[in-house]
């Protein structure tokens, strides 16, 4: 045991001396952009907001003592903003989950086989999958195994939290960027080194002309290139190997990424759409890959946190019945609270029919993905646990449904505030509904029972106070919906 530890230590020591980034991403045999017929090639997008999904690798028993925390993973995502946002490329969190598997937890070796298996686990079709392995003796820090461009990456926890922007580097590959020092390779017909004067910049090197020729030479330890030979590489370029120096992408790289995204369906599928309209939806009790939505999920399923974020870049709106239910012990063996969030940069609109049932967690989040200067509301939470709570208002029908975000928000959600009272509550079936503002009465008042059946209705109410009698109805939970033209305000009461 001691021997192994010493060996690991030496490996670690050597890799520190080398001070070079080591990325396992392979150059594709064909460049995706140059293979497109010029007439068929679509213009670069103006901007792109890309959804990310974090997969946190844990032991098979769910133990996570060395796994990355979701808080650190989200912080790493925030670290992308200053690098990518100047190029109109932004990232938002679609969600996260756990993969409990010792084979991935213990010394992930970055072999083709291991990478292939892991990157085909719990795949998201609408987000870039980021697999974070906690333990590895491999010198490889990260790999965009699915290719250039690609839909996923695998990265060591230390590379993710190390502040060296290796996460940004692997994402660059996913979005179509090559290493700045791309050289000749026997197996790759198009690969050739860029001339020092850049004369072949559009067909050799990284195919980007404002990244100078790079021979991946030595630096002086202060991010100054000392390799001579006429080279003058950008040692701060994210797609270089200059360890500890990576901080920027060039305009040409930004343009190439926006062009690759425009011409790659697999990446277009991973963008946050401008507007999302959600209608006639009951949110499932377990949120996770389809294989997890049964009473006995396999170990790859993501206990103990279930979450789902519906992300519309500009707006998220609901119509018809949209119901967020709490966890149920029948369908949720982990007995976890359901967490659903709607995220948009500008507006979240909850229209009549939207309902969060008691016990469910729902959050409406106004969160500018771009630009970089984002001050998320913290709610006093310094981040031990759910990053969601870092930037969201959580509420359920027990509280006022409202989302009064901080002043970085451009717009708040339409308030769905309980502005009427039920007196008394609980009651024996004989009670009063009292509106606080008699000038703002709803169009209808509807009372439904716990099964959703309408038991009473008042059309066009014109009084601020109504006395109701449902004494003959059975005991239990009832909901009063007050329907306005642009919102529904609901409260619950219990009939004894």
Shortest distance in whole angstroms from residue 28 CB to Zn ion: 13
Token pair, residue 112, equals 């083709």
User: CB-wise, 237 or 339, nearer to Zn ion?
Assistant: 237
- The secondary structure of 39-91 as a DSSP string is TTPPPPPS-EEEEEEEEEEE-TTS--TTSPPHHHHHHHHHTTHHHHGGGTEEE
Shortest distance in whole angstroms from residue 196 CB to Zn ion: 22
CA 406 and chain centroid, separation: 21
Q: How many residues bind Zn ion (CB under 5 A)?
A: 2
Question: Measured between alpha carbons, how far is residue 419 from residues 218, 303, 427, 456 in Å?
Answer: 68, 37, 19, 20
Closest C-alpha to 178, from 152, 154, 214: 214
User: CB-wise, 212 or 341, nearer to Zn ion?
Assistant: 212
- The secondary structure of 165-232 as a DSSP string is -HHHHHHHHHTTPPPTT---BTTBTT--PPPTT-TTTTTSTTS-TTS-------B-SSS-B---TT--
- Residues 130 and 155: their CA atoms lie apart, in Å, by 7
User: CB-wise, 23 or 89, nearer to Zn ion?
Assistant: 23
Shortest distance in whole angstroms from residue 117 CB to Zn ion: 21
Tokens 């409260």 correspond to: 491
Tell me the residue nearest to Zn ion as measured from the CB: 23
- Residues 181 and 173: their CA atoms lie apart, in Å, by 14
> Within 13 A of 489's CA, how many CA atoms are on the CB side?
23
User: CB-wise, 127 or 171, nearer to Zn ion?
Assistant: 171
The window from 16-24, 184-192, 378-386, 478-486 that contacts Zn ion (CB under 5 A) reads: 16-24
Shortest distance in whole angstroms from residue 154 CB to Zn ion: 12
Q: How far apart are the first and last CA of the chain?
A: 66
CB atoms within 10 A of CB 15: 15
User: CB-wise, 25 or 307, nearer to Zn ion?
Assistant: 25
Shortest distance in whole angstroms from residue 110 CB to Zn ion: 13
Q: Classify strands 128-133 and 48-58 as parallel, antiparallel or unpaired.
A: parallel
The window from 15-23, 151-159, 280-288, 360-368 that contacts Zn ion (CB under 5 A) reads: 15-23
Q: Classify strands 152-156 and 128-133 as parallel, antiparallel or unpaired.
A: parallel
Shortest distance in whole angstroms from residue 159 CB to Zn ion: 11
Site string for Zn ion, 200-239 (x = CB under 5 A): ----------------------------------------
Shortest distance in whole angstroms from residue 54 CB to Zn ion: 20
User: CB-wise, 172 or 341, nearer to Zn ion?
Assistant: 172
Torsion of CA 81, 87, 92, 94, to 10 degrees: -140
User: CB-wise, 177 or 292, nearer to Zn ion?
Assistant: 177
Shortest distance in whole angstroms from residue 310 CB to Zn ion: 32
Site string for Zn ion, 17-36 (x = CB under 5 A): ------x-x-----------
Shortest distance in whole angstroms from residue 169 CB to Zn ion: 5
- Residues 22 and 252: their CA atoms lie apart, in Å, by 24
- The secondary structure of 444-486 as a DSSP string is EEEEEETTS-EEEEEES--SSEEEEE-TTSPSEEEEEEEE-SS
Shortest distance in whole angstroms from residue 173 CB to Zn ion: 6
With H, G, I as helix, E, B as strand and everything else as coil, classify residue 95.
strand
- Residues 367 and 373: their CA atoms lie apart, in Å, by 11
User: CB-wise, 25 or 318, nearer to Zn ion?
Assistant: 25
User: CB-wise, 106 or 183, nearer to Zn ion?
Assistant: 183
User: CB-wise, 76 or 278, nearer to Zn ion?
Assistant: 76
Q: Interface residues with Zn ion (CB under 5 A)?
A: 23, 25
């Amino acid at each position: 045991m001691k021997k192994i530890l010493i060996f690991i230590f030496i490996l670690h020591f050597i890799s520190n001396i080398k001070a070079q980034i080591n990325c396992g991403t392979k150059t594709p045999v064909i460049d995706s952009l140059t293979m497109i017929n010029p007439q068929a090639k679509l213009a670069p997008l103006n901007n792109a907001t890309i959804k990310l999904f974090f997969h946190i690798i844990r032991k098979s028993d769910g133990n996570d003592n060395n796994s990355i925390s979701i808080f650190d993973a989200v912080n790493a995502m925030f670290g992308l903003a200053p690098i990518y946002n100047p190029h109109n490329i932004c990232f938002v969190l679609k969600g996260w989950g756990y993969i409990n598997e010792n084979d991935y937890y213990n010394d992930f070796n970055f072999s083709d086989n291991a990478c292939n298996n892991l990157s085909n686990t719990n795949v998201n079709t609408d987000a870039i999958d980021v697999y974070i392995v906690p333990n590895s003796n491999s010198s490889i820090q990260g790999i965009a195994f699915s290719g250039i461009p690609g839909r996923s990456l695998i990265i060591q926890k230390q590379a993710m939290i190390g502040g060296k922007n290796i996460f940004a580097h692997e994402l660059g590959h996913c979005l179509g960027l090559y290493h700045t020092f791309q050289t000749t390779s026997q197996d790759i017909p198009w690969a050739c080194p860029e001339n020092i004067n850049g004369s072949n910049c559009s067909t050799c090197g990284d195919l980007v002309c404002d990244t100078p020729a790079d021979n991946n030479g030595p630096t002086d330890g202060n991010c100054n290139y000392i390799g001579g030979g006429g080279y003058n590489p950008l040692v701060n370029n994210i797609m270089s190997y200059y360890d500890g120096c990576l901080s920027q992408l060039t305009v040409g790289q930004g343009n190439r990424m926006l062009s690759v995204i425009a011409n790659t369906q697999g990446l277009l599928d991973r963008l946050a759409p401008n507007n999302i309209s959600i209608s006639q939806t009951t949110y499932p009790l377990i949120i996770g890959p389809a294989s997890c939505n049964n009473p006995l999920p396999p170990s790859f399923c993501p206990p103990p946190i279930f979450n789902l974020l519906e992300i519309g870049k500009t707006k998220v709106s609901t119509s018809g019945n949209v119901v967020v239910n709490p966890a149920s012990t029948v369908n949720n063996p982990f007995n976890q609270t359901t967490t659903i969030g709607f995220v948009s940069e500008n507006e979240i609109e909850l229209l009549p029919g939207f309902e969060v049932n008691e016990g469910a967690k729902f959050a409406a989040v106004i969160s500018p993905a771009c630009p970089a200067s984002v001050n998320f509301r913290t709610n006093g939470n310094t981040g031990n646990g759910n990053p969601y709570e870092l930037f969201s208002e959580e509420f359920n029908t027990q509280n006022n449904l409202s989302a009064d975000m901080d002043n970085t928000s451009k717009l708040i959600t339409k308030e769905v505030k309980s502005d009427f009272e039920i007196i008394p509550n609980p009651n024996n079936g004989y009670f009063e509904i009292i509106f606080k503002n008699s000038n703002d009465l709803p169009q209808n008042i509807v009372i439904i029972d716990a099964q959703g059946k309408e038991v009473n209705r008042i059309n066009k109410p014109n009084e601020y106070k109504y006395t109701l009698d449902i004494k003959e109805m059975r005991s239990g939970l009832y909901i009063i919906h007050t329907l306005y033209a642009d919102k529904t305000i609901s409260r619950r009461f219990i009939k004894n």
